[in-house]
Amino acid sequence: MRKLLLIAALLPTSLLADDVVRVAVASNFIQTAAELSKRFSETSSIEVRLSGGSTGKLYAQILNGAPFDVFLAADAERPRLLEQGGHAVPGSRTTYARGALVLWSGDRTLVGRDCREVLNRGDYRHLAIANPATAPYGKAARDFLVDAGLWEQAKKRAVFGENISQTLQFVATGNATLGFIAASQLRHRNLPSTSCNWTVPDSEGSPLDQQLVLLKSAAGNAAAREFVDYLADEQAAAIIRRSGYGVPGR
Amino acid sequence: MNVLGPLWLSVQLALATTLVLFVVGTPLAWWLSQTASRWKPVAQTIVAMPIVLPPTVLGFYLLILLGPNGAIGSWWVQLTGSALTFSFTGLVIASCVYSLPFAVQPMQNAFEALPRQTLEFAWLQGATKLDAFFSVAAPMSVRGFVAAAVLAFAHTLGEFGVVLMVGGNIPGETRVVSIAIYDEVETLNYGAAHQMSLLLLAFAFVVLLAMYLVNRRWSER
């Protein structure tokens, strides 16, 4: 009997839980996804497992056969590429959230200052940006800086986060004076008090339409489909909106 | 992407680190080899810790210590006006911590293997301890120095986790070759990743082989 228990304890939980959905989530959405999957698992017997990372990294992992069922990206480009490349279930691609880019600082010397003006004047030691090659929020930040004519100046003092979470960490620890983060991160429970923040208007930044796809390997996975359907549900939309995102079509 | 830039940066970092570790590590290794203090095991433990600690633990503490609000970082800001995190100097400090055991342990082993009488003879001849070290102990410990230099250099070249946490991925400043490879793999630029990885692979092989060959010749003597 004791042996049996031991074996049961050693079994991967996937064999014990009814159904499992493995989700690759862009870092900016990880907290929201955690809340969504908690609610989702309350009403179904499906377990959701989240793996966070930059959109580009997750995309590369998926191309290399990472065992994910659903991909919640921070852009529309990678899901489109996956669909075109036959790695995603055709027609499963939808926009689940619309993000916003925020210039933020927790630097005490900047209290009461206008973040945008600090950026213009170059009054900072380091500016944190997510890696534009892998993180859509980083790409949006660079596009904004290029359009504003500030890239040449900013480039020299930019530090690049591996993903948007590390970018926030660079600013939150005070190692970077200010940084471009996701609006949803302003609701992070451990965020230090804000010295200044400025939301990049849609008109000045690239749109951050965040799309999802059901991945090819999950085509016959009913649990994965159920989770994707849940994300379009009214309750989920309310959570997503409360987390600082726009929800398309509502 | 430029392949040689990150590679050259890594070489510079490894050279600087090895140099600093020789200056700091030699007296430390000497003290460890000679002392009978009851604190020796504690000191040895502290020196060896980077071998077993995850780089993320070192990276986390260094990020706090070297940051503009940290104990070392804030002092450095007052002194120079710039922060230590996201800088080459910061990486040198981080690498010295990370590679410390790889420099100290081979030197300590070499010093401990010195015949005690030889040193005592030199002291009897009236040599100061410093004199005796440079004219007797050091030349007899060349093997230890070579091993320390090779290991410290190679280990720093292969550093990844700590740099990822305190470097900030700045081209020409903190984007060392291991980080550049990671970036290229993530963006599916396997060509550039191959170029850099193969160079490092060949380098690691050549360096270690050379060391083993030299070692063999030495022991045949």
Indicate if ipTM > 0.90.
Answer: no
pLDDT tens-digit series, residues B73-95: 999 999 998 889 999 999 999 99
Is it the case that residue A7 has pLDDT exceeding 60? no
What would the two tokens of residue B110 be?
Answer: 């070499």
* B85/A57 touch (CB, cutoff 8 Å), yes or no: no
Q: Which domain CATH number covers B123?
A: 1.10.3720.10
Give the pLDDT band of residue B171 (cuts 50, 70, 90).
confident
Of B67, B164, B183, the CB nearest to A133: B183
In a domain, A228, yes or no: yes
Q: In this predicted structure, which of B5-14, B62-71, B120-129 has the lowest mean pLDDT?
A: B120-129
Mean pLDDT of chain A: 91
Residue A204 is assigned to a structural domain of this protein:
no
Q: Six-digit token pair at B131?
A: 């004199």
* Residue at A11 is within a domain: yes
* Whether the predicted pLDDT of A14 surpasses 50: no
Q: Give contacts of A63 with chain B, Cβ < 8 Å.
A: 188
Residue B203 CA to residue A156 CA, distance in Å, equals: 31
Nearest CA in chain A to B77: A125
Instruction: Name the residue among B85, B164, B188 with its Cβ closest to that of A60.
Output: B188
Residues A93 and A216 in one domain: yes
Q: Are residues A48 and A118 in the same domain?
A: no
Which positions ≥6 away from A138 have C-beta within 8 Å? Answer: A129, A130, A131, A132, A160, A161, A164, A167, A180
Is the pLDDT reported for residue A173 higher than 50? yes
Question: Which residues are CB-neighbours of A94 under 8 A, at least 6 positions away?
Answer: A211, A212, A232
pLDDT of residue B131: 87
In this prediction, residue A8 carries a pLDDT of 53
Chain A neighbors of B190, CB-CB under 8 A: none
| Same domain? A136 vs A215 | no
Give the pLDDT score at A9. 55
Burial class (CB in 10 A: 0-12, 13-18, 19+), A248: middle
Q: By residue range, what is the domain housing residue A37?
A: 2-98+209-242
Look at B168 and A160 and tell me if their CB atoms are within 8 Å.
Answer: yes
Residues of B with Cβ-Cβ distance to A128 under 8 angstroms: 168
Q: Are residues A190 and A119 in the same domain?
A: yes
Contact between chains at A159 and B168 (C-beta distance less than 8 A): yes
Q: What is the mean pLDDT of chain B?
A: 92
Residues A191 and A105 in one domain: yes
Please report the pLDDT score of residue A16 as a whole number: 47
Residue A19 C-alpha, separation from nearest chain B C-alpha, in angstroms: 30
Model confidence, pTM: 0.84
What pLDDT was estimated at residue B180? 93
Nearest CA to CA, how far is A159 from chain B (Å)? Answer: 5
Confidence of residue A224 (pLDDT cuts 50, 70, 90): very high
Taking only the tens place, the pLDDT of each residue in A59-99 is: 999 998 889 999 999 999 999 999 999 999 999 999 999 99
How many CB pairs below 8 Å do chains A and B form together?
53
Residue A94 and residue A10 in one domain: yes
Q: What's residue A202's pLDDT?
A: 83
User: What is the C-alpha separation between A61 and B188, in angstroms, rounded?
Assistant: 10
CATH of the domain at A231: 3.40.190.10
**How many domains does chain B fold into?**
1
3-state secondary structure chain A: CHHHHHHHHHCCHHHHCCEEEEEEEEHHHHHHHHHHHHHHHHHCCEEEEEEEECHHHHHHHHHCCCCCCEEECCCCHHHHHHHHCCCECCCCCEEEEEECEEEEECCHHHCCCCHHHHHHHCCCCCEEEECCCCCHHHHHHHHHHHHCCCHHHHHCCEEEECCHHHHHHHHHCCCCCEEEEEHHHHHCCCCCCCCEEEECCCCCCCCEEEEEEEEHHHCCCHHHHHHHHHHCCHHHHHHHHHCCCECCCC
Query: Do A86 and A140 have their domain in common?
Result: no
**Residue A116 counted as domain residue:** yes
CA distance A146 to A144: 5
Question: What is the tally of structural domains in chain A?
Answer: 2
| pLDDT at A12 (0 to 100) | 52
Model pLDDT, residue B82: 82
What are the Cα distances from residue A63, in Å, to A70, A134, A164? 13, 14, 22
